[in-house]
Amino acid sequence: MNWFLLCRMLGMLGVLVGGSMVFSLPWAFPACGEAETFEAAGFWGLLTAIGCSLAVGGGLSYIGRHDSGTILRKEALAIVGLGWLLAGCLGSLPFLFSGVQRAAIASDGHEIIVTVGVADALFESVSGFTTTGASVLTDLEAGATGMRPLVPRCILFWRSFTHWLGGMGIIVLFVAILGQLGAGGKALLRREVPGPMSSTVRPRVQEAAMVMWAIYVAISGLLALLLAMEGMSVFDALCHTFGTMATGGFSTHNASVGGFGSVVIESTIVIFMIVAGTNFSLFHLAVSDRQPLKTFRQDPEFCVYLFLLLSASVFLGLSIFLDQQVDDLFEAVRISLFQTTSIMTTTGFATADFGQWSDFSQGLLLLLMFVGGCAGSTGGGLKVIRFILFAKIVRLEVEQAFRPNVVRPLRLAGTPIDKAQRHQVVVYFCLVLLICVISWMLLLVIEPGDAWHGEESNRLLDTASAVAATLNNIGPGLGVFGPERNYAMLAAQSKLLLTVLMLLGRLELFAILVLFVPSFWRSR
Domain ranges of the chain: 3-197
What is each CA distance from 491 to 47, 60, 75, 294, 416, in whole angstroms? 30, 33, 34, 51, 48
SS3 105: strand
Classify 423 in phi/psi space as left (phi over 0), alpha (psi -120 to 50) or beta.
Answer: alpha
What is the 8-class DSSP label of residue 416?
E
Question: What is the pLDDT, as a whole number, of residue 422?
Answer: 84
365-415 tens-digit pLDDT: 989 999 988 888 888 888 999 999 999 888 888 888 777 777 777 887 777
Amino acid, single-letter form, for residue 324: Q
**What backbone phi and psi angles, to 5 degrees, belong to 104?**
-145, 165
CA atoms of 316 and 88, how far apart (whole Å)? 35
* CA-atom Rg of the chain in angstroms: 23
Residues whose CB falls within 8 Å of the CB of residue 262, separated by 6 or more in sequence, listed in order: 230, 231
> How many of the other CB atoms lie within 10 Å of CB of 323?
14
Query: Which residues on neighbouring strands pair with residue 416, listed in sequence order?
Result: 411
Residue 184: predicted pLDDT? 54
Q: What backbone phi and psi angles, to 5 degrees, belong to 207?
A: -65, -40
Helix (H, G, I), strand (E, B) or coil at 415: strand
Task: Report the distance separating Cα 392 and Cα 384, nearest Å.
Answer: 13
Phi and psi dihedrals of 82, rounded to 5?
-70, -30
Instruction: Determine contact, residues 10/86, Cβ cutoff 8 Å.
Output: yes
Residues 255 and 301: their CA atoms lie apart, in Å, by 33
Contact 497, 503 (CB under 8 A): no
| CA atoms of 331 and 494, how far apart (whole Å) | 37
Side chain identity, residue 26: P
Return the SS3 of 115. Answer: strand
Using an 8 Å Cβ cutoff, are 188 and 80 in contact? yes
Q: What pLDDT does 340 receive?
A: 94
- Whether the full predicted model's pTM is greater than 0.75, yes or no, is yes
Query: Which string of b and e fits 126-159 if b means at least 16 CB within 10 Å?
Result: bbbbbbbbbbbbbbbeebeeeeebbbbbbbbbbb
Rounded to 5 degrees, φ, ψ at 280 are -70, -20
CB distance 350 to 486 below 8 Å? no
- Residue closest to 370 by CA, chosen among 472, 479, 446, 516: 472
User: 192 CB contacts (<8 Å, ≥6 apart)?
Assistant: 80, 169, 171, 172, 507, 511
Mean pLDDT, the chain cut into blocks of 10 residues (524 residues total)? 84 91 90 68 92 94 78 80 92 93 72 86 94 87 57 91 85 60 57 53 61 87 94 92 91 86 92 92 77 82 93 91 82 91 91 84 90 86 90 86 76 79 88 94 83 64 91 87 84 93 89 85 70
